[in-house]
Chain A
Amino acid sequence: MSNEKTNPLSVFLNGLWKENPVFVLLLGMCPTLAVTGDLASSLTMGLSATFVLFCSNVVVSLIRSLLKPHIRILMFTLTISTFVTIVDLILKAYLPEMSAKLGPYIPLIIVNCLIICRAEACASKQKLGIAVLDALGMGLGFTLTLSALGIVREILSYGTVLGFAIAPEGSLSIFGFALPVGAFITLGFMLGIVNIINRKKAKE
């Protein structure tokens, strides 16, 4: 793994499929399950997380020589919570409805394992450039995965995409998919599908 990390393009592409944060590394599950009821909130969540991931990776990479092992997690969380406060304030100012809808899940980006994992596994060891690429790749992978989940759940539960109806009204309204149950089960089956694809690839 460490050899591939030196190649910039593979670092970026890593997060999209091979080490996709949600499907492969199983990180950041809480927002993945909680806010993917529809596509709009999935996108907001994904982009907010990407912004925080990017900023914190940059800062952690810059201060990596000063980090002491036993207080590193504290340093990471303090850095991250600063940027999350910024995102939270921005959302409150410009997207108040979305901010109210996402509720405590925006502040919970602070304890999103994906961001801490990238700070620990990548930014605290690598140079700035690699850390930036890693953050962008992982953030994009996270956003895309959340959106995929959001689309599936929005279609199945309301028959809409981003609020636009794509199926005749009432024909698709399996309400369970908007509830916690739907989140767990959809993600479970999506992971199953990813497993099948990966196994086929491995055989070839």
Chain B
Amino acid sequence: MELLQTLILSFLSIVIVNNLVFSKFLGICPYLGVSGRLDMAFGMGMAVTFVVTLSGTMTWLIDNFILMPMNIEVMRYVCFILVIAGAVQLVEMYVRKFFPTLYESFGIFLALITTNCAILGLCLFLHLWGVSNFLNALVLSFGSGVGFTMAICIMAGIRENLDLADVPESLKGAPITLITAGILSLAFMGFNGMIK
């Protein structure tokens, strides 16, 4: 029972309170680059969720059962990157086969999931937070993907309306998107007191 409670709390905390985009600044590039349209944002979110779940758990296993017992933590970054790149290759093959139109619209951004800092960041945070339980690592990885999807979809929804708004000429495009993100992040800070 206690385990279940921990798992639910860590899921909520990674989705809302410690949301990677709003509080840790991870995955900002796709967040700004792909959040123009809602359907693309959602597809991107799903792809990232898959990759982050797979690579988060894989790197946790590698870190705990290979690197740490053998005292070769120096190899950590190189190993993590290899795992992530492999996971992205899987997603790329899958999307190209089954959703060719989505694949076209993603373009270079799909391969660039490899270099999405949210994914590597989560893998590093799993170590930094000292997650010692496999289930917990799994839930945190999945939750961070859900959090990213949520953030990017909210942003896409706002930006679709922002196109019609009367924004000062010099703030159009990236600047107003960043300011909006700032206000969103302020809103999300309200959740900070929720989980102690």
Contacts and interface: CB of A to CB of B under 8 A. Distances in A.
Interface of A: 26-27, 29-31, 33-34, 73-74, 77-78, 81-82, 84-85, 88-89, 103-104, 107-108, 110-113, 116, 176, 179-185, 187-189, 191-193, 195-196, 199
Contacts of A103: 128
B186 interface: yes
B182 A81 contact: no
Contacts of A85: 74, 77-78
B27 A30 contact: yes
B108 to A, nearest CB: 10
Contact of A179 (B29, B85, B171, B189): B189
A113 B115 contact: yes
B174 interface: yes
Interface of B: 22-29, 32, 74, 77-78, 81-82, 85, 111-112, 114-117, 119-121, 124-125, 128, 168-171, 174-179, 181-183, 185-186, 189
For the complex of A and B, list the 4 residue pairs with the smallest distance between their C-beta atoms, beginning with the closest: A184-B182, A188-B178, A188-B179, A185-B182
A181 B182 contact: yes
Nearest to A86: B74
Task: Name A's interface SS.
Answer: helix
Nearest to B124: A104
8 contacts: A29-B32, A33-B25, A89-B74, A110-B77, A180-B22, A181-B189, A184-B181, A185-B183
B78 A196 contact: no
A179 B125 CA distance: 19
B175 A73 contact: no
B81 A184 contact: no
A29 B112 CA distance: 14
A182 B119 CA distance: 24
A78 B23 CA distance: 28
A77 B185 contact: no
A107 B78 CA distance: 10
Nearest to A74: B85
A26 B174 contact: yes
Given A29-B32, A73-B114, A73-B115, A196 B128 contact: no
A33 B28 CA distance: 9
Interface centre among B169, B170, B189 (most CB of A within 10 A): B170
Contacts of A73: 85, 111, 114-115
